[in-house]
Chains A and B, each alone.
Chain A
């Protein structure tokens, strides 16, 4: 029995490895008043969805350009690296192809909340689509 417990403890240590998760402190009564966007999520990678939890999507207007910020939280102890790509959609439904969408990289520590944001490339953009992919 003792051996089983010891093995379990060792296995947990091996899984956690050298990872050091982060603790987060923020304002209990936030002063920011973000404009929250209702979002729809299509999930093909269930593991990624479990590890990286969507916290919020909010938008702002920078002059005539749309700005989007998507906030995630790493629900695990291990740091996670992921790629993300914003695609921008115009009023007529067409996706902006020039400049083309670029995959950016981000790393989020265990337990950390991270925001990725982007500014639309042209004033005609009215919508966005965000793709996420976990790094190998």
Chain B
């Protein structure tokens, strides 16, 4: 009897040990990622970006651009959440998807406050422009500017926490200054503590 008990205990311990703890690779947007209650997780960035790209492509705005593919510049994305985040987690995903779609390309030589994302390309373009008798500004000018805001709304009821992250983006047509496409994606998470998987 005692032997059986010990065997069962050992078997249980082995099973428990086998189920968790070991590091493993998981799909970055998949069902095995960690879900936090009060932070923007990697899958949240992907979901928000994916939804926004779908909505932008479905709107047909980029198809109406005079220049094809449309040229975008990334403007300011204000972070009003309690987290320190790199907004490239959102914008880069959007840029990649738009680039792959063939509907838009993003300039890396025109940036906010004159700061280019790729200073080498900007300098080289200016050099080549001067050498060919130009004014040093050879870069293709963007037709659209992407700006936005990240907002966090937090509330509790007893020990249950709820956080909503709002991802807001506007695409402004530079020639007119009008926001020709806007979107808001809310991701709401509720619970008492973080969890592995959904």
Chain A residues packing against B (C-beta within 8 Å): 62-63, 65, 67, 81, 83, 96, 98-105, 118-119, 121-123, 133, 135-136
Chain B residues packing against A (C-beta within 8 Å): 27, 29-31, 43, 46-47, 50-51, 53-54, 57-58, 60, 63, 93, 96-97, 100-102, 197-198
Query: Would you call A119 and B54 a contact (CB within 8 A)?
Result: yes
**B43 touches which of A65, A103, A118, A119 (Cβ 8 Å):** A103
Q: How far is the CA of A98 from the CA of B102 in the complex (A)?
A: 12
Query: Would you call B60 and A83 a contact (CB within 8 A)?
Result: no
Question: Which of B30, B51, B54, B96 has the most A CB atoms < 10 Å from its CB?
Answer: B54
Q: Kindly list chain B residues whose C-beta atoms are within 8 Å of the C-beta of A102.
A: 29, 46-47, 50
Closest A-chain residue to B55, C-beta based?
A: A119
A104-B47, A119-B54 given; name 18 further pairs at CB < 8 Å.
Answer: A62-B57, A65-B57, A67-B58, A81-B198, A83-B198, A98-B96, A99-B50, A99-B97, A102-B46, A102-B50, A104-B50, A104-B51, A119-B57, A121-B53, A121-B97, A121-B101, A123-B102, A135-B198
Query: Would you call B58 and A99 a contact (CB within 8 A)?
Result: no
Query: Would you call B31 and A133 a contact (CB within 8 A)?
Result: yes
Q: How far is the CA of A83 from the CA of B198 in the complex (A)?
A: 9
Query: Would you call B29 and A122 a contact (CB within 8 A)?
Result: no
Closest B-chain residue to A101, C-beta based?
A: B29
What are some 18 contacts across the A-B interface (CB < 8 A)? A62-B58, A63-B60, A65-B57, A98-B100, A99-B53, A102-B47, A102-B50, A103-B43, A103-B47, A104-B47, A104-B50, A119-B58, A121-B57, A121-B97, A122-B102, A123-B102, A133-B31, A135-B31
